[in-house]
Amino acid sequence: MAMSVGGDSTEKPMSDINTTPLVDVMLVLLIIFLIAVPVVLQTIDLKLPNVRYEPTQTKPENVNLAIRAEADGRCGVYWNTTRMGHQELEDAAVKKLKLEIERQGGAGNPELELPEAHIRGDVNVPWQCVGGAIYTMQRAGFAKVGFISEPPPGQGITRL
């Protein structure tokens, strides 16, 4: 960067900036990023499932579970609004399944529709809590265990 300060009163100082060093630095940074980005973006090829936001058909025989982390660090599993422990949850699930089978005419009924378990898990709940509830419901005999979620804000329901 040069600036002339002359002795003549008609001359003005030169205020032009020499951009050559700036361009050199930008080119060096561009080359560094071109080399570094492929190293950082190492990925494994996966085929992720398509997400479908389909409204659930709420049936009165379905079981609604809510799972959250309690203040003491333990898992809180709620059947509707009743808090249950692991064994209580399994006993209630077996009882519910037996009552529903009897209501529909017994296990020999070819049109037997078993109830489903719908789990609503808090975002901050540890995965062990949700996994334990799924295991307990499947062990009790529930063949369909699903999750209730909300679509991201601003997105409507789309069919894939």
The tens digit of pLDDT for each residue in 10-45 reads 677 777 788 888 999 999 999 988 888 776 666 656
DSSP count for the chain of H helices, then E strands: 3, 5
CB burial string 4-31: b at 16+ within 10 A, e below? eeeeeeeeeeeeeeeeeeeeeeeeeeee
Residue 108, burial from CB neighbour count under 10 angstroms (0-12, 13-18, 19+) = exposed
Rounded average pLDDT over 65-89: 89
* Amino acid at site 21: P
Q: What is the pTM of this model?
A: 0.59
Lowest mean pLDDT among 19-28, 85-94, 140-149: 140-149
45 torsion bin: left (phi>0), alpha (psi -120 to 50), beta (else): beta
**CATH code matching the domain that covers 63-147, chosen among 3.30.70.860, 3.40.50.300, 3.30.420.270, 3.40.50.2030:** 3.30.420.270
CA separation for the pair 54, 39 (Å, rounded):
39
55 vs 48, higher pLDDT: 55
